[in-house]
Amino acid sequence: MFGNLTLDAFKHDPIEAAAGYSIFLSMILAVALITYFKRWTWLWKEWLTSLDPKRIGVMYIVVALIMLFKGLSDALMIRAQQAFSVGDAWGYLSASHFQQVFTAHGTTMIFFVGMGIVFGMMNLILPLQIGARDVAYPFLNSIGFWLFASGSAYIIISLIVGKFSATGWVAYPPLSGLRYSPNEGVDYWIWSVQIAGIGSLLSGINFLVTIFKMRCPGMTLMKMPVFAWSALGTLALIIFAFPILTATLGMLSLDRLLGMHFFTPDFGGNQMMYVNLIWAWGHPEVYILILPAFGIYSQVVSTFSQKRLFSYESMVWAIIGITFLSFIVWLHHFFTMGAGANVNAFFGIMTMLIAVPTGVKIFNWLFTMVRGRVHFTTPMLWFLGFVVIFSVGGMAGVLMSIAPVDFQVHNSLFLIAHFHSMIIGGVVFGFFAGFTYWFPKIMGFKLNERLGRYAFWCWLIGFLAAFLPLYILGFMGATRRLDHYEAATGWQPLFLVAAVGVGIISLGLGLQILQLIVSIKERKKNTDTTGDPWNGRTLEWSTTSPPPVYNFAVIPTVQTRDPFWEMKQTGASPQQKPKYQDIIMPKNSPLGVLIGGFSFILGFALVWHILWLGVIGLLGILTCFIVRLSEEETEYCIPASAVAKIEAKASKRKK
């Protein structure tokens, strides 16, 4: 009846159980609170079924922040184990639990934090920046988000029902094959990533079309804000890379479900093929994460230097160069697999080449500050922290692209320090910069600056304490993913420092949560009535904060790269009495959340081999599609008179 799912799946050791129960309790608490405040209808009508990219963007960010909290807890657990599991002491986690924790940490951070903030930011800002009212395919956008959300749910549910994968976040076979991992763990990982990955592909298509087809009149590609350009690079990568992931995971699940041998060495399968395929997706993936962050820094530096971005064309070509190069470097993830010298040398040199456009970008940002007026707001602090960490991490990266050097540091903690420099220093800092920068636009009030600064310093100092020791540990021969090591290695002091560092980072996240609470409480004081709190340059600042559902009452026409700045400089105020027209917007639809839910059921059934449940999931998805296809009225009209009313109210608020 329930396939492989038996009562044993609910039995856990005390630590796992504590995590599971606390999550279960917080879910019950959330449900109770929503019921108590009678917010269910509001939640359903205003958020869950919404097709408004600004709403979907906020939901992406909420999921990403919850997952960040989860991923950081994992990190704390990992370092706590490693700080004390030395010699005769064996730490507080069993090896298999420890391995689940680091697998969950990697999967969570890359797929649900990284991808969440990428799509969250795009949803929130992209349409506004290119002067569009909506995205190209609003319903697809909703499906994309709900697939992402249901993917993230497996990570949570695996704490309560059964176990998660213990094979590391890229799950190399044969370890991830049936023979060495017969349990449900790897299946949880596969379906979590598979479903979220399909969501990413759909959203990728949606935003690519949005950029190509929905820019406002006058905005040629070379007049787009750099964030839009970086998004374009990311979207191209998503569309080319994610199908590889889908196919690879498809083959791995055939190996596991039907006993096939794509990647297990028996019957002619090839584990090295998996390693190639997963990194043919995996390397572009890291650029998928970092490019939007580059875009955010570009907007932040130029806005807070009150100056044009230095050498826009260089920036654009650098993005295009990085996008292209990122597809021909994947082999540097496994120089140690024994490919010939020519192959290793080629991929090593291609990898180094990426440093050139990246370096150019950094120079351009620095020269954007030159002859500007630099305001040290929190987003600017994140940017400066980024330059330091990213330059050092980048150096480590180029170092590892020399294959013989890589032989000495591959899979050591040196590598871990390198990619955390890129992902925390680059992606996460970029996200925080963008979050603070655009928060008033989306929510209508600014975040508390002082707490933001405190949080920044915690993250920066915490980062240095947590990851500089790792560079040294790597050189000492410490490999990643160790749940125990001998005392004679002399690693323990450095592991202790690293653990303290993670503690300081957690304090930083705590301060950010406090910052949110305080800012919401004091929102009256920090309200942004102008719609332009930072003296901004691009179109998103020309509308109100928060923007109306249709973003722009009149679609703007642009002539330059910083249209809003130009407009303020020339003093050309928008038409005094604009002629409003009827605006057509998409209706809400519950089908996105339903498709997400049925996909979750389908994946869950596949994890536990429950046939009837799988059939329900599949039929549910199909039914939703048929219902959507047969709907006739999917849009509604906001009459010109209503638009005029909303706008009048907004301009009154401005005064």
Partner 1 sequence: MQAKMKSRWKVASSIALFLGAVVAGLVFLFNSDIAVLNPKGWVGMQQRELIIIAMSLMLLIVLPVLILTFVFAWKYRASNTKATYAPDWDRNHLAEILWWAVPLVIIAVLSVITWKSCHELDPFKPLNSHAKPLKIQVVALDWKWLFIYPEQNIATLNFVQFPEETPIDFEITSDAPMNSFWIPQLGGQVFAMSGMRTKLQLIANETGNFRGCSANISGQGFSGMTFTAHASSPDEFATWVSAVKQASQSLNLGMYTRLAEPSSYNPVAQYSGVEEGLFDWIVMKYMMPSHK
Region 163-192 residues binding partner 1, contact defined as CB under 8 A: 166-168, 172-175, 180
Least Cβ distance, residue 555 to partner 1 (angstroms):
27
Q: What are phi and psi of 583, to 5 degrees?
A: -120, 130
Return the residues of window 57-86 that contact partner 1 according to CB under 8 A.
none
Nearer to partner 1, 474 or 548 (CB): 474
Pair 400, 332: CB distance under 8 Å: yes
Q: Which is nearer to partner 1, 246 or 306 (CB)?
A: 306
The reply on whether position 402 binds partner 1 by CB under 8 A is: yes
Tell me the DSSP string of 121-133: HHHHHHHHHTT-S
Shortest distance, position 163 Cβ to partner 1, whole Å: 12
- Piece of the chain touching partner 1 by CB under 8 A; list 153-161, 197-205, 208-216, 402-410: 402-410
* CB-nearer residue toward partner 1: 7 or 341: 341
Among 87, 182, 259, 404, binds partner 1 (CB under 8 A): 404
Q: Which residues contact 353 (CB under 8 A, 6 or more apart)?
A: 325
- Nearest residue (CB) to partner 1, 216 versus 362: 362
Identify which range of 281-289, 290-298, 333-341, 508-516 contacts partner 1 by CB under 8 A: 333-341
Whose tokens are 């570009």? That residue is: 298
Q: For the CB of residue 129, give the shortest distance to partner 1 in the complex, in Å.
A: 19
For partner 1, give the closer residue by CB, 264 or 506.
264
CB atoms within 10 A of CB 128: 24
Is residue 655 classed as helix, strand or coil in its secondary structure?
A: coil
Binding mask 97-126 toward partner 1 (x if CB under 8 A, else -) reads: --x---------------------------
Please report whether residue 535 would count as binding partner 1 according to CB under 8 A.
no
> Whole-number minimum distance, CB 279 to partner 1, in Å?
14
Within 294-313, the residues that bind partner 1 by CB under 8 A are 305-312
- Rounded distance between C-alpha atoms, residue 451 and residue 456, angstroms: 9
Residue 570 lies near partner 1 (rule: CB under 8 A): no
* Nearer to partner 1 among residue 342 and residue 576 (C-beta): 342
Q: Which is nearer to partner 1, 329 or 443 (CB)?
A: 329
Which single residue is written with the structure tokens 């998004």?
231
- Give 428's DSSP letter: I
Candidate segments 94-102, 142-150, 247-255, 418-426, binder of partner 1 by CB under 8 A: 94-102
For 484, other C-beta atoms within 10 Å of its C-beta total 16
Residue closer to partner 1, measured from CB, 160 or 175? 175
Minimum gap (Å) between residue 560 Cβ and partner 1: 11
CA distance linking residue 562 with residue 251, whole number of Å:
47
Beta-carbon neighbour count of residue 610 at 10 Å?
Answer: 19
Q: Which of residues 335-374 bind partner 1 (CB under 8 A)?
A: 336-338, 340-342, 344-345, 348-349, 352-353, 355-356, 359-360, 362-363, 366-374
Considering only 475, 612, 625, 636, the residue that binds partner 1 (CB under 8 A) is 475
Q: Of 30-38, 197-205, 380-388, 442-450, which segment contacts partner 1 by CB under 8 A?
A: 380-388
Q: Which stretch binds partner 1 (CB under 8 A): 131-139, 391-399, 502-510, 602-610?
A: 391-399
For residues 487-526, which are near partner 1 according to CB under 8 A? 489-490
Ramachandran area for residue 162 (φ above 0: left; ψ -120 to 50: alpha; else beta): left
Question: Cα Rg for the chain, rounded, in angstroms?
Answer: 25
* Direct distance between the N- and C-terminal alpha carbons of the chain, in angstroms, rounded to an integer: 66
The DSSP code for 446 is P
Size of the site for partner 1 (CB under 8 A): 93
Q: Is 560 in the site for partner 1 (CB under 8 A)?
A: no
Return phi, psi of residue 637, to 5°.
Answer: -115, 130
Residue 445 has φ and ψ, to the nearest 5°, of: -145, 155
Considering only 403, 497, 498, 638, the residue that binds partner 1 (CB under 8 A) is 403
Quick one: which segment of 185-193, 289-297, 452-460, 471-479 binds partner 1 (CB under 8 A)?
471-479
Distance CA 239, CA 244 (A): 10
Residue type, 527: T
- Of 132 and 460, nearer to partner 1 (C-beta) is 460
Q: Which helix (H) or strand (E) holds 583?
A: strand 583-586
Residue whose token pair is 């990428």: 118
In this chain, which stretch among 72-80, 276-284, 410-418, 499-507 interacts with partner 1, using CB under 8 A?
410-418
Q: How many CB atoms lie within 10 A of CB 340?
A: 8
- Where b means 16+ CB within 10 Å and e means fewer, 137-151 reads bbbbbbbbbbbbbbb
Question: How far apart (Å, rounded) are the C-alpha atoms in residues 379 and 398?
Answer: 28
Rounded to the nearest 10°, the torsion over CA 224, 229, 232, 237 is 170
CB 368, min distance to partner 1, A: 8
SS3 229: helix
Site for partner 1 in 227-266 (CB under 8 A): 265-266
418 is an interface residue for partner 1 by CB under 8 A: no
Q: What is the CB neighbour count within 10 angstroms for residue 6?
A: 11
Does an H or E element contain 638, and which?
A: strand 635-638
